[in-house]
Chain A
């Protein structure tokens, strides 16, 4: 397994939680089909699609960072990591705008079942993006301090694995909550 084995236990646990949440959303949607279809139209699908592109691009940059460290190109690795962080920041800004739009219309967790799921799932994922960015930033700083090389890429691989998990989850969350009706 690439990276530290402990991160994979964490990743499996996170995937289990998100998996249960997605299945719960689908089952509850069955009982409130009209409501879910109606309120889903109020979501900003363009923001959702751009955010998907940002996360996929960030993941691509992280892959390039891992490739760079495997070739002992530390400076390149750091640049790719900061580019990925830039995409992550773009995601956070767009998502914050989306949350602001909803909150300014008085929409909250208690508004209805659809918004409860929408806000819970996306905010929970939002927190994971923040954690992923903190990890990538820590990896970039440690890389600059000379902690990683082609002989010791484990730290970069560990951060990368976590970031890819965040991307993987969003790839299902986006069509499930924003598109499928």
Chain B
């Protein structure tokens, strides 16, 4: 971790991303692009938690595949379902 990339700045970035998520909901923004952005912020926050808070940066590939696979798998499935919903609306 360097001067800019450390747990303090990651914490602040995650709070800022949470605020952006709230504001999007408050403004009633919707659509595939918005949902993609919301899920991308979840992936970014999740990556910070897995890699830096849980300290899984240097562990074996298997454990990282399980954790990141869960994060990406769930978010992509939510996005896919949303896309199917938009198509059928």
Q: Give chain B residues whose Cβ lies under 8 Å from the Cβ of A164.
A: 49, 53-54
B70 touches A15 (CB 8 A): yes
* Residue among A49, A53, A178 with the highest chain B CB neighbour number at 10 A: A49
- Cross-interface CB contact of A171 among B28, B45, B67, cutoff 8 Å: B45
Question: Which residues of chain A from 161 to 177 have any CB-CB distance to chain B below 8 Å in the complex?
Answer: 161, 164-165, 167-168, 171-172, 174-176
B88 on the A face (CB < 8 A): yes
Q: Give chain B residues whose Cβ lies under 8 Å from the Cβ of A30.
A: 81, 84-85, 88
A62 to B67, CA, bound (A): 19
Q: Give chain A residues whose Cβ lies under 8 Å from the Cβ of B50.
A: 168
Scoring A residues 20 to 40 as 1 if CB is less than 8 Å from chain B, else 0, what string do you get?
001100110110010000000
B56 touches A45 (CB 8 A): no
- Cross-interface CB contact of B45 among A8, A23, A56, A179, cutoff 8 Å: A56
Q: Give chain A residues whose Cβ lies under 8 Å from the Cβ of B84.
A: 30
A46 to B22, CA, bound (A): 7
Tell me how many residue pairs across A and B have CB atoms closer than 8 Å: 115
Interface size on A, residues (CB 8 A): 45
- Cross-interface CB contact of B74 among A2, A22, A33, A174, cutoff 8 Å: A22
A8 to B42, CA, bound (A): 22
- Cross-interface CB contact of A63 among B53, B73, B89, cutoff 8 Å: B53
Q: Give chain B residues whose Cβ lies under 8 Å from the Cβ of A46.
A: 22
B59 on the A face (CB < 8 A): yes
A181 to B19, CA, bound (A): 17
A1 on the B face (CB < 8 A): yes
Question: Which residues of chain B from 13 to 68 have any CB-CB distance to chain A below 8 Å in the complex?
Answer: 14-15, 18-19, 21-22, 24-26, 28, 30, 35, 38-39, 41-42, 45-46, 49-50, 52-56, 59, 63, 66-67
A residues adjacent to B (C-beta < 8 A):
1-2, 8, 12, 15-16, 19, 22-23, 26-27, 29-30, 33, 45-46, 48-49, 52-53, 56-57, 59-60, 62-64, 66-67, 157, 160-161, 164-165, 167-168, 171-172, 174-176, 178-181
B residues adjacent to A (C-beta < 8 A):
7-8, 11, 14-15, 18-19, 21-22, 24-26, 28, 30, 35, 38-39, 41-42, 45-46, 49-50, 52-56, 59, 63, 66-67, 70-71, 73-75, 77-78, 81-82, 84-85, 88-89
